[in-house]
């Protein structure tokens, strides 16, 4: 299963890189990397009420930022207030956007994250992803970021 996932990631990377070299960055890509995204909210479905979201953001996350650069590098940074990274793993590596511009792949030293872009404009980036501790324990999380 891991080999299939790795193959899919490599295929996405190769396809996205070839597209980028041929056409240059899209407007969505430029929106992603021309801003510094400040973490505003991290939530997941409430265990008490699965129809509602529950905030899991800690006060020490208030200064965290996500930077995506034009050269394809990303960094999830814990700025001044040090916080544990159980909610959002601090990491750095490379990023790519899918051909349909709806998924953001972050590949860093702590593994890969595949985020579904639900909102992207000049001031807001919102993504969802399935976070899992194990293959059977998957939680849908939402991250809301604002242009700093």
Residue by residue, DSSP assigns the chain as -HHHHHHHHHHHHHHHHHHHHHH---HHHHHHHTSEEEEEEEEEE-SS-TTSEEE---GGGTT-EEEE-TTSEEEEE--SS---SSSS--EEEEEEE-TTS-EEEEEETTEEEEEEEEEESSSEEEEEEEEEEETTEEEEEEEEEEE-
> Distance between CA 80 and CA 60 in Å, rounded?
9
* Res 57: pLDDT: 82
* Res 63: pLDDT: 83
Q: Which two tokens stand for residue 18?
A: 């070839």
- Name the pairing type of β-strands 137-147 and 124-134: antiparallel
Q: Decide if 118 contacts 111 (C-beta within 8 A).
A: no
pLDDT, one tens digit for every residue, the chain (148 residues): 555 655 565 555 555 554 555 688 999 999 999 999 999 998 988 777 877 888 888 888 788 899 999 999 999 988 776 776 667 778 999 999 999 999 999 999 988 999 999 999 999 999 999 887 656 677 888 999 999 8
* Res 71: pLDDT: 95
* Res 48: pLDDT: 77
* Res 82: pLDDT: 73
């Amino acid at each position: 299963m891991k080999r299939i996932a790795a193959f899919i990631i490599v295929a996405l990377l190769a396809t996205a890189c070839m597209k980028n070299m041929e056409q240059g960055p899209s407007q969505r890509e430029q929106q992603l990397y021309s801003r510094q995204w400040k973490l505003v909210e991290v939530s997941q479905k409430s265990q008490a009420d699965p129809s509602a979201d529950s905030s899991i953001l800690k006060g020490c996350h208030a200064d965290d930022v996500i930077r995506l650069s034009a050269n394809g590098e990303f960094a999830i940074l814990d700025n001044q207030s040090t916080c544990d990274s159980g909610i959002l793993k601090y990491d750095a590596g490379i990023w790519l956007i899918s051909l349909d511009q709806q998924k953001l792949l972050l590949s860093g030293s702590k593994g890969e994250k595949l985020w579904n872009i639900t909102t992207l404009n000049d001031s807001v980036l919102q993504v969802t992803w399935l976070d899992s501790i194990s293959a059977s324990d998957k939680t849908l999380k939402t991250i809301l970021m604002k242009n700093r």
